[in-house]
């Protein structure tokens, strides 16, 4: 039996409900789906946030960034004073939210892939994946068009979201989630989604693989999200999160972090027992852990992740003891 990875939790990195950001009414709650892009003097972390809900209890979501001290990943140097992208105009696929976002640096260009949110009537929302580029070091981005780059298709009819962009072997890989069904949970519509993959030569024209990458484990309608892939020691490692289809907003059915590995990026073996990180006995991450982001920094492996209420009170960091 392979031993689980051993992660040491270092604590919370950023909590928007405790942070003072003058004039930033759009960043009052949630700091979700962290994504690291290293710079020479700091680590830039993109994430998604929300203003307070409107009178109907509905949220919008924006994406922005903060910069961390390279020598202390719990020291925030600065928080951006504006979102990196505007919401879409009336009727656009991203009119009501930009979440989550995944940013990659390629040559001198920063490219962002993000999920745009549309409000619906029969179900709460739908999402598709858009793309934008930055030419000012990743401080602001311009959409490459008003529509999505990964839209709904006949075999992926809704909830195209959770993009994680990677480049391996001079090729672009976009890991994402695709909705399989909506279910009724005591009068509330809840989506079921699975992890999928698309590949590209240029990062703009994509070939979907058209199949789920991971088997379900806790139930057939298990929802899977945030597929974060890193290459280490001759193998591809995926950390992701999963939850029950119903009653998942508390501890019993809430998100947990899983793990899978692959030799070729297309065929994955799931081994959640090896993930090595779960909820704490008490505190901000005692009910759920989700949306993992794994990265190498100064010779060590770190993991950013969300806690209770899917990041309403921010994200934390853990460090791996040993190597992947």
The per-residue pLDDT of the chain, averaged, comes to 95
Tell me the sheet residues that pair with 161. Answer: 177
Read off the pLDDT of each residue in 132-153 and give the average, rounded to a whole number: 96
Sheet of strand 125-134, all strands in order from the earlier edge strand to the far edge: 98-106, 109-119, 125-134, 142-143
49 — alpha (psi -120 to 50), left (phi > 0) or beta?
Answer: beta
Residue 114 has pLDDT above 70, yes or no: yes
Domains in the chain: ranges and CATH: 7-320 (2.115.10.20)
In the prediction, which pLDDT does 26 show?
85
Predicted local distance difference test score (pLDDT) of residue 24? 72
Query: pTM here?
Result: 0.96
Residues of the chain with pLDDT > 70, as a percent, come to 98
Percent of the chain with pLDDT over 90: 91
- Across the range 33-38, mean pLDDT stands at 97
15 contact partners, CB below 8 Å, separation of at least 6: 31, 284, 313, 314
Q: Is 19 helix (H, G, I), strand (E, B) or coil?
A: coil
pLDDT of residue 23: 64
In the prediction, which pLDDT does 2 show?
Answer: 82
Distance CA 230, CA 173 (A): 12
Q: CA–CA separation, 34 vs 99, rounded Å?
A: 11
The model's pLDDT over 260-284, given as tens digits with 9 standing for 90+, comes to: 999 999 999 999 999 999 999 999 9
State whether residue 217 is helix, strand or coil: coil
For 231-263, give the DSSP string. EETTEEEEEEEEE-SSS-SSTTT--EEEEEEES
For residue 17, the model assigns a pLDDT of 87
pLDDT of residue 1: 63
State the pairing for strand pair 235-243/223-232: antiparallel
Instruction: Say if residue 222's pLDDT is above 90.
Output: yes
User: What is the predicted pLDDT for the residue at 194?
Assistant: 98
Length of the chain in terms of residues written? 324
* Structure tokens belonging to residue 32: 């979700």
Q: What is the pLDDT of residue 21?
A: 67
Q: Report the pLDDT value the prediction gives residue 57, as an integer from 0 to 100.
A: 87
Interval 181-199: pLDDT, tens: 999 999 999 999 999 999 9
Decide if pLDDT at 314 tops 70.
Answer: yes
* pLDDT value for 250: 87
Alpha carbon 247 to chain centroid, angstroms: 21
Q: Which residue has the tokens 């852990």?
A: 289
Is the pLDDT assigned to residue 259 strictly greater than 80? yes
pLDDT at 304: 98
pLDDT grade for 22, boundaries at 50, 70 and 90: low
**Distance (Å, whole) CA 158 – CA 182:** 10
Average pLDDT over residues 113-118: 97
Residue 308 and residue 3: Cα distance in Å, rounded? 27
Please give the helix or strand (H or E) that residue 39 lies within, else none: none
Other Cβ atoms within 10 Å of 131 Cβ, number? 21
Q: Are 208 and 153 in contact (CB under 8 A)?
A: yes
Residue 31 CA to residue 234 CA, distance in Å, equals 33
The alpha carbon of residue 258 and the mean position of all alpha carbons in its chain are separated, in whole angstroms, by 14
Contact 125, 118 (CB under 8 A): yes
**Range of lowest pLDDT (50-54, 138-142, 197-201):** 50-54
Strand order in the sheet with 188-200: 160-168, 171-185, 188-200, 207-208
Q: What is the mean pLDDT of residues 124-147?
A: 96
Look at residue 20 in the predicted model and tell me its pLDDT.
64
């Amino acid at each position: 039996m392979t031993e689980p990875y051993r992660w040491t939790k270092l604590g919370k990195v950023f909590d928007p409900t405790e942070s003072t950001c003058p004039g930033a009414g759009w960043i009052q709650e949630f700091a979700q789906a962290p994504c690291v892009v290293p710079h020479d003097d700091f680590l830039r972390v993109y994430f998604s946030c929300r203003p307070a809900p409107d009178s109907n209890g509905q949220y919008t979501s924006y994406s922005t960034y903060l910069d961390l001290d390279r020598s202390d990943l719990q020291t925030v140097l600065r928080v951006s004073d504006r979102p990196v992208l505007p919401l879409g105009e009336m009727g656009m696929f991203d009119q009501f939210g930009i979440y989550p976002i995944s940013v990659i640096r390629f040559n001198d260009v920063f490219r962002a892939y993000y999920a745009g949110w549309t409000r619906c009537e029969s179900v709460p929302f739908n999402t598709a994946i858009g793309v934008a580029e930055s030419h000012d070091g990743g401080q602001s981005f311009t959409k490459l068009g008003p529509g999505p780059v990964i839209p709904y298709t006949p075999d992926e009819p809704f909830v195209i979201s959770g993009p994680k962009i990677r480049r391996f072997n001079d090729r672009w890989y976009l890991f994402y989630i695709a909705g399989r069904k909506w279910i009724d949970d005591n009068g509330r519509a809840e989506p079921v989604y699975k992890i999928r993959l698309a590949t590209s030569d240029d990062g703009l024209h994509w070939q979907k693989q058209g199949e789920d990458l991971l088997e379900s484990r806790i139930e057939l309608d298990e929802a899977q999200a945030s597929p974060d892939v890193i290459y280490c020691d001759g193998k591809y490692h995926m950390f992701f999160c999963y939850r029950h289809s119903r009653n998942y907003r508390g501890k019993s059915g809430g998100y947990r972090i899983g793990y899978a590995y692959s030799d070729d990026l297309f065929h994955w073996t799931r081994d959640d027992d090896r993930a090595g990180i779960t909820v704490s006995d008490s505190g901000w991450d005692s009910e759920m852990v989700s949306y993992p982001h794994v990265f190498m920094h100064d010779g060590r492996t770190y993991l950013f992740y969300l806690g209770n209420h899917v990041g309403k009170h921010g994200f934390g960091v853990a460090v791996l003891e040993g190597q992947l």
